[in-house]
Amino acid sequence: MVSVEFENVNKQYDDGFQAVKGLSLDIKDKEFLVLLGPSGCGKSTTLRMLAGLEDVTEGDIRIDGMKVNHLPAGARGLGMVFQSYALYPHMSIRDNLSFGLRMMKGTEKLDANEISNRVEEIAQLLELDGHLDKKPKELSGGQRQRVALGRALVRRPKVLLMDEPLSNLDAELRHQMRNEIRRLHDELGTTTIYVTHDQIEAMTLADRIAILDKGELQQHCPPLDAYHNPANEFVRSFLCRHIDDLVDTANSLFKQPHQMEGQE
């Protein structure tokens, strides 16, 4: 069981800016939660507080019921994937994948066999098994992003955190990787929190979405519920109108030329 809770969490940066205001949110065991909202609304700040990369100004964050506000990042059992995947350029894919495992100390330390088995297993899952002896520069963008994902998953994190992991990829790869990420989640069942400002990404990936605006939670529910019953004007405009516009655009593309105005 791995659940995550934010209770009345505030984040004020040193310059006085209040980036997150009174956030209360629960993420259930095995859930795929998407944090959605426009640029600057506080998505990364929220994720970074959970990861232990930013201090919490007020309120509590709990993992599995245990308050983690003051627990160092490395002790929280989380896996992280960011937009810039920063692989080690001089290491092979195999070494990139095993790096975190080789660094484990004390009771967590793994023997070489276990490390090699885990790397093989994750490489297969992500279809990287033919590439283990290559260097990152020999892979495509999508393959590199899969290595970044593998590097987080190989440690078997309690919770997987992703911050706009696909925004460096082209549309086709984004689409492929999105499906891949959801498939992996369904296979592994890792509780996942995924940050994006992309409404379609949120709608297609999430069990539930949490929509933020200016540091405040606007709505938290399954994506179709938000689409059909937006909680307020912000959600109506940011989510519903945006999706309706995309659907209109797509429909107009499928109109036959003879149906279009001025053509015959």
Ligand X SMILES: Nc1ncnc2c1ncn2[C@@H]1O[C@H](COP(=O)(O)OP(=O)(O)OP(=O)(O)O)[C@@H](O)[C@H]1O
Positions that interact with Mg ion (CB under 5 A): 44
Choose among ligand X, Mg ion, none what residue 39 binds, the Cβ cut-off being 5 to 8 Å by kind: ligand X
Task: Figure out which of the listed residues 2, 41, 97, 152 binds ligand X, where binding follows CB under 6 A.
Answer: 41
The Cα 246–Cα 262 span in angstroms is 23
CB-nearer residue toward ligand X: 18 or 116:
18
The Cα 226–Cα 138 span in angstroms is 42
Shortest distance, CB of residue 88 to ligand X, whole angstroms? 25
H helix count then E strand count, the chain: 9, 10
Residues 163, 43: contact at Cβ < 8 Å? Answer: yes
Shortest distance, CB of residue 145 to ligand X, whole angstroms? 17
Task: Figure out which of the listed residues 5, 7, 21, 40 binds ligand X, where binding follows CB under 6 A.
Answer: 40
Q: Helix H segments across the chain? A: 43-51, 93-102, 112-125, 141-153, 171-188, 199-205, 223-228, 233-235, 242-253
Q: Please give the structure tokens belonging to residue 214.
A: 């200016």
CB-nearer residue toward Mg ion: 3 or 168:
168
The Cα 12–Cα 58 span in angstroms is 9
Task: Figure out which of the listed residues 8, 13, 127, 232 binds ligand X, where binding follows CB under 6 A.
Answer: 13
CB-nearer residue toward ligand X: 41 or 68:
41
Assign 187 to helix, strand or coil. Answer: helix
Task: Figure out which of the listed residues 9, 44, 131, 143 binds ligand X, where binding follows CB under 6 A.
Answer: 44
CA–CA distances in Å: residue 192 to residues 156, 206, 233: 12, 9, 28
Residues in 183-202 that interact with ligand X by CB under 6 A:
197
Q: Which residues contact 57 (CB under 8 A, 6 or more apart)?
A: 10, 11, 12
Interface segment toward ligand X; rule CB under 6 A; list 37-45, 66-74, 198-206, 237-245: 37-45
Shortest distance, CB of residue 37 to ligand X, whole angstroms? 6
CB-nearer residue toward Mg ion: 123 or 162:
162
Residues of the shown chain interacting with ligand X in the complex, contacts defined by CB under 6 A: 13, 15, 17, 19, 37, 39-45, 197
